[in-house]
Chains A and B, each alone.
Chain A
Amino acid sequence: MISVISALAKREWIRFFRQPHRVVGSVAQPILFWIFLGSGFSSSFRAPGMETVSYLEYFYPGVLLMVVLFSGIFSTITIIEDRSKGLLQGVLVAPVSRFAIVLGKVVGSMGIGLAQVLLMLVAIPFLGLSLDWTGWLLLLLGLVLSALGFTALGFVMAWNMESTAGFHAIMSVFLLPLWMLSGALFPMGHLPAWLNSVMFFNPVSHALQLIRLPFYHPGGQLVAMTAYQVALMVALLWAGVCLALALWKVSRMETGVAGP
């Protein structure tokens, strides 16, 4: 099973790095987004209780999340291409477990997003942020869990899609608002009650907590915090549900009926 997962994941990586325009776009877009938006809002941003935090710093965890979400999910678009080219059928007729197929695709796609995030982590000291080793561990856990859950969601959405244009449209309508209402752009707490409720039930908000909190709390203290524990539980549950849905989709064989 491991060799199947690694072979399918490796394929995603090779494909990614053999398309230079994709590499440049994936790396440059979030950095530009962060620098332009972060710098633009820096002078006007004063979040209650976070007066000393610049918008560039506030926005940073949101950009990290954006990279793992969007890169992971949009990498699963290759499922649609694979089906139209017949590659997917070639994998489905092989004697491999369906879970290995799901994991191979998800691990490969989320790996692309995580590699981009690792590049962006270079900015940490320049923002005046610091992490101890437990903080690093919890930050990586948050990134991996978020990438896993939302890449599996991309897999589920892509599985029955006929066109890549449709996938882009659905994801833009669905994913972008989820990310915007996660606290990535503005903090929770001092908003209308309905918006706070939406943000609380948004799984992306909890993923953001997993990424933001390690920057401001030591690892030992963090694992005892209720907010962190809730976020961790939600992220685990979300990843489990999305992976289970993906497995269900792949295992479901097309069937007809015996007669009229």
Chain B
Amino acid sequence: MIKIDGVSHYYKQPKGAVRQALNNVCLEVPEKTLFALTGPNGGGKSTLFRILSGLLKPGSGTVRLGGLNINTHPLEVRRLLGVVFQYPALDSQLTVMENFQIHASLYHLDKSVLDRAMAEDLAWADLKERLNERAGTLSGGLQRRVELVKALLHRPRLLLMDEPTTGLDPGARKAFWETIFNFRNRLGLTVLTTTHLFDEAEQADRVAILHRGTLLADGTPDALVQRLGNEMIVIHARDEKVARELEHRLAADKHVTVRRRGGEVRVEGATQEIVDDLLRQRQGLFQDIAIKRPTLQDVFIDMTTQAPEETA
């Protein structure tokens, strides 16, 4: 559904300088996949999202959506897309229904098509009673659901979402994602979402990690997590000096991988003996020690700790 081939993008800066946003990104998203694009702020997610939604022309490389080149067939590509932006794209002065009607006009939908889509979707999104309320009076969570329904009224094949749960409380986030899964299963959608929340990314079929404009990893959440083994030790040392000392000592064991960030030391591939040894010999040097199953966040920390420095 999405094929990104060698996309690089640099933003022009004053005095002829440039700032790298994307560096030779290659990515494929199969049809009907829920794909999460994750990474830190400034990693390139939003630039890639703007390129995919047709708002930004990449410096180099090609992007194909549904087999169509986004630069040569912009109108056809836009018909395939439903887009949910990070900030609400609803007119707060208009009612929910009026927002839907304007969207229907922009996508050339007949009234009967709009009515049918609304009849099907509003119940799923629990919005039936809200049609005549002004969008600005709805809670943040409801506004996001209205946006979602609006983005899907024209039945796109691909739904693009840019950090769609920003500013929502945990309950509203959960409800939003439940609605996404409902729609995705019912309409057979391909969904690409950017997020820096790893618990959201873990729900996706596939995840890509973008850091300093470079694609560091792309795979299923399980496959990415497996890179760190089944278990890892996380030690919070008393101070950074102690952490450095621990890092140095543990790194002597060729069977383990040690990473340190400030006062935190992560040990991958560690055995029970190492933990026992640490507890016996080094007690008092650390605040806590935990054995845990790695998460996507650990993969992210692991990869970004060893990622290459920014080049521009």
- Write the residues of chain A forming the contact surface with B, with a CB cutoff of 8 angstroms: 3-4, 6-8, 10-11, 14-15, 18-19, 85-87, 89-96, 253-260
Task: Give Cα A89–Cα B90 distance, bound, in whole angstroms.
Answer: 11
B285: chain A residues at CB < 8 Å are none
**Across the interface, do A90 and B85 meet the contact criterion of CB distance under 8 Å?**
yes
Given contacts A3-B105, A94-B106, contact A260 B312 (CB under 8 A): yes
Say yes or no: B93 contacts A254, CB within 8 Å: no
| Contact status of A15 and B107, CB under 8 A, knowing A7-B102, A256-B11 | no
Q: How far is the CA of A258 from the CA of B57 in the complex (A)?
A: 11
Scoring B10, B58, B91 by chain A CB atoms within 10 A of each residue's CB, the highest score goes to B91
The 5 A-B pairs of least Cβ separation, nearest first, read: A7-B105, A90-B89, A258-B60, A94-B106, A95-B78
For the complex formed, measure the closest distance between the CB of A164 and the CB atoms of chain B, giving whole angstroms.
Answer: 16
- A1 and chain B: residue at smallest CB distance: B108
| Contact, CB under 8 Å: B85 / A86 | yes
Known: A85-B87, A85-B92; 17 extra A-B contacts, CB below 8 A, are A3-B105, A6-B105, A7-B101, A7-B102, A11-B91, A85-B88, A86-B88, A87-B91, A89-B89, A90-B103, A92-B55, A93-B78, A95-B78, A95-B79, A253-B55, A259-B10, A259-B18
A254 in complex: contacting residue of B55, B75, B90, B106, CB < 8 Å: B55
Q: Point out the residues of chain A lying under 8 angstroms from B76, CB to CB.
A: 95
Q: Which of B50-90 contact A (CB under 8 A)?
A: 53-60, 75-76, 78-79, 81, 83, 85-90
A3, A8, A90, A254: most-surrounded residue (chain B CB, <10 A): A90
B94 touches A94 (CB 8 A): no
CB-nearest residue of chain A relative to B87? Answer: A86
Q: Interface size bucket, B side?
A: 35 or more
> Do A19 and B75 touch across chains, with their CB atoms under 8 A apart?
no
Q: Interface on chain B toward A: helix, strand, loop, or mixed SS?
A: mixed
B262 to chain A, nearest CB (A): 32
Query: Nearest chain-A residue to B105 (Cβ)?
Result: A7
A-B contact pairs, 7 of them (CB 8 A): A3-B105, A10-B102, A15-B91, A90-B83, A92-B55, A256-B11, A259-B59
- Which residue numbers of B lie inside 8 Å of A, CB to CB? 8-12, 18, 20-21, 53-60, 75-76, 78-79, 81, 83, 85-94, 98, 101-103, 105-108, 312
Please determine whether B93 and A19 come into contact, CB atoms closer than 8 angstroms. Answer: yes
B93 surroundings in chain A (CB, below 8 A):
14-15, 18-19
CA distance A255 to B81 in the complex (A): 20
Q: If A94-B78, A253-B57, A259-B60 touch, does A4 touch B105 (CB 8 Å cutoff)?
A: yes
Chain B nearest CB: distance from A146 CB in Å?
27
CA distance A8 to B102 in the complex (A): 7
Question: What number of residue pairs across chains A and B have CB atoms under 8 A from each other?
Answer: 106
Contact A258 B10 (CB under 8 A): yes
CB distance from A85 to the nearest CB of B (A): 7
Closest Cβ of chain B to A75, distance in Å, is: 14
Question: For A254, what are the chain B residues with a Cβ–Cβ distance below 8 Å?
Answer: 55-57
Across the interface, which residues of A come within 8 angstroms of B59, CB to CB? 255-259
> A257 to B91, alpha carbons, bound, how many Å?
34
Q: Are B94 and A14 in contact, CB atoms less than 8 angstroms apart?
A: yes
Nearest-Cβ distance from residue B25 to partner chain A, whole angstroms: 13
Question: In the assembly, what is the distance between CA of A116 and CA of B112, in Å?
Answer: 36
- A186 vs B56: C-alpha distance in the bound complex, in angstroms? 49
Chain B residues, Cβ within 8 Å of A255 = 56-57, 59
Question: Which residues from chain B contact A14 at a C-beta distance below 8 Å?
Answer: 93-94, 98
Q: How far is the CB of A1 from chain B (nearest CB, A)?
A: 10
Q: Which of A95, A254, A256, A257 has the most CB of B within 10 A?
A: A256
Shortest distance from the beta carbon of B214 to any chain A beta carbon, whole Å: 14
Q: How close is A86's CB to chain B, nearest CB, in angstroms?
A: 4
Contacts of B88 in A (CB 8 A): 85-86
Residue in A10, A93, A259 with the greatest tally of chain B CB atoms within 10 Å: A93
A10 to B86, CA, bound (A): 26
Q: Which of A11, A19, A95 contacts B102 (CB 8 A)?
A: A11
Which chain A residue lies CB-closest to B90? Answer: A87
Q: How far is the CA of A14 from the CA of B94 in the complex (A)?
A: 7
| Interchain CA distance A95-B78 in the complex, whole Å | 5
Enumerate chain B residues within 8 angstroms of A86, measured Cβ to Cβ.
Answer: 85-89
Shortest CB-to-CB span from A5 to chain B, Å, is 9
Shortest C-beta distance, B19 to chain A (Å), equals 9
Given contacts A254-B55, A260-B10, is CB(A94)–CB(B107) below 8 Å?
yes
Q: Are B101 and A256 in contact (CB under 8 A)?
A: no
B55 and A93 contact, CB distance less than 8 A: yes
For A87, what are the chain B residues with a Cβ–Cβ distance below 8 Å?
89-91
Please state if A93 and B53 are interface contacts (CB–CB under 8 Å).
yes
Do A256 and B56 touch (CB < 8 A)? yes
* Contact call B10/A256, Cβ cutoff below 8 A: yes
Docked CA distance A260–B92 (Å): 42
